[in-house]
Amino acid sequence: MRCTRALLVLLLLVLASAAPAGARAADYTSRPIRIIVSTSAGGITDVAARVLGQHMSQQTGQSVVIENRPGASGNLAMEGVAKAEPDGYTLGFANTGNIVVNPLLYRHMTFNPLADLAPVAPVGTVPLFLVTNTLIPPTTLADFIAYAKANPDKLSYAGAGAGTTPDLTAHEFARRAGLSLVYVPFHGTAPAVTALLGNDVQFTFVSMGPHIQLMREGKLRVLAAATAQRAPYLPEVATFGEQGFPGLETTTWFALFAPRGTPPSIIDQLNGYVRDTLADAQAKGRLEADYIQPLALTAREFAALVKADADKWANIVRQVGLTLD
């Protein structure tokens, strides 16, 4: 009898301790969720966020509001997330540069994305490609390097925003190839590509989705993929590694973050929503139609990826010697 009573007391204690967590899990997603996106509407980061938001709304039965808050290279949006209540109802959607590159470039930030945001899950990735116009002779990466070395300080490359991953990748390529080039900054990829087509600049780095049609029309020439393996939609384009530049890889992820201090149970629940989205054929198809490769990771796996990318970009930024404030 005494043993039975002790077991009953132990069972009641276990149930009592589990009740608050259970109540929190049941209560979560009881009201609309806001996702603050680090870029303007219509860009590739926004596209990925809206695919996720729509599917999350279906999963939770709640409105998922997408709020675009561009500015300061994503710092404006992510600061709002970092300072929000860590209850799972205000989340952030950002890309690699917003999280791991900005802290290296901006010395006077009022928050640290790596310390003040909790990685939840990536939605997908896009790689960068080195592209030239078709008005210059080189048709291969080796030819391009030889041409640039024969014409020092005469070839220009378009930076799609100072300190962005395309900009830093161009700096790193020029450093490793031993090229002396003229850097021309632009506010975004679209004006950079316009200048490229007009031969105001001769090359740049872009994600291929918005520009693949220009390649198919013979207006852009793709010389190398900054990827570990060849892109499935451009299998004929060799990687930098295959062409003598091992490790020259830039793959941008688009991912969900929460304020630091968000309960692990909510992080895991959100991670589940993201992974369910990526398992949905329609959502996966919408991402792939924009050349976004879905990437399903646990929260812990994604945190490890963020850490690895932070270390990688810290080394590149040191080599380039760039700061923005």
Q: List pLDDT tens digits, range 6-16.
A: 444 444 443 43
As a whole number, mean pLDDT of residues 14-23 equals 37
Amino acid 167: pLDDT? 87
> Once rounded to an integer, what is the mean pLDDT over residues 91-114?
94
Residue type for position 7? L
Amino acid identity at 185: P
What proportion of the chain, given as a percentage, has pLDDT over 70? 92
Q: In which band, very low, low, confident or very high, does the pLDDT at 186 lie, cut at 50, 70 and 90?
A: confident
Residue 219 pLDDT exceeds 80: yes
Mean pLDDT across 71-92: 95
Over 50: is that where the pLDDT of 226 sits?
yes
136 vs 3, residue with greater confidence:
136
> Where in the sequence of the chain do the CATH 3.40.190.10 domains occur?
129-243
Q: What is the pLDDT of residue 22?
A: 34
Q: For residues 317 and 266, give the distance between their C-alpha atoms in angstroms, rounded to a whole number.
A: 34
**pTM, rounded to two decimals:** 0.85
For the stretch 248-258, pLDDT in tens is 999 999 999 99
**Cα distance between residue 106 and residue 217, in whole Å:** 39
**pLDDT band for position 187 (cuts 50, 70, 90):** confident
Amino acid 142: pLDDT: 98
Residue 131 main-chain phi, psi, to 5 deg: -125, 145
Q: Say if residue 289's pLDDT is above 50.
A: yes
Under CATH, which number does the domain 129-243 receive?
3.40.190.10
What is the predicted pLDDT for the residue at 72? Answer: 87
Residue-level pLDDT at 25: 45
Report whether 35 contacts 92 (CB < 8 A). Answer: yes
Residue pLDDT, tens place only, 47-76: 999 999 999 999 999 999 999 999 888 999
Q: Which residue has the higher pLDDT, 167 or 5?
A: 167
Mean pLDDT of 159-169: 83
209 contacts 47 by C-beta, under 8 angstroms: no
Mean pLDDT of the chain: 89
User: Average of pLDDT values for 235-251?
Assistant: 96
- What pLDDT band is residue 27 in, cutting at 50, 70 and 90? low
% of the chain exceeding 90 in pLDDT: 76
State the greatest distance between any 2 C-alpha atoms of the chain, in Å, as a whole number. 93
Residue-level pLDDT at 12: 41
- Give the separation between CA 229 and CA 42, rounded to whole angstroms: 28
> Which part of the chain has CATH 3.40.190.150?
32-125+252-320
pLDDT band at 154 (very low <50, low <70, confident <90, very high): very high
d(CA 106, CA 124) in angstroms, rounded, equals 26
CATH class of 32-125+252-320: alpha beta
What's the confidence (pLDDT) of residue 42?
84
Confidence at residue 57, expressed as pLDDT on a 0 to 100 scale? 96
Band (21; pLDDT cuts 50, 70, 90): very low
Which H or E run contains 200?
A: none
Average confidence (pLDDT) over 88-116: 95
CB 159 within 8 A of CB 205: no
pLDDT value of residue 20: 37
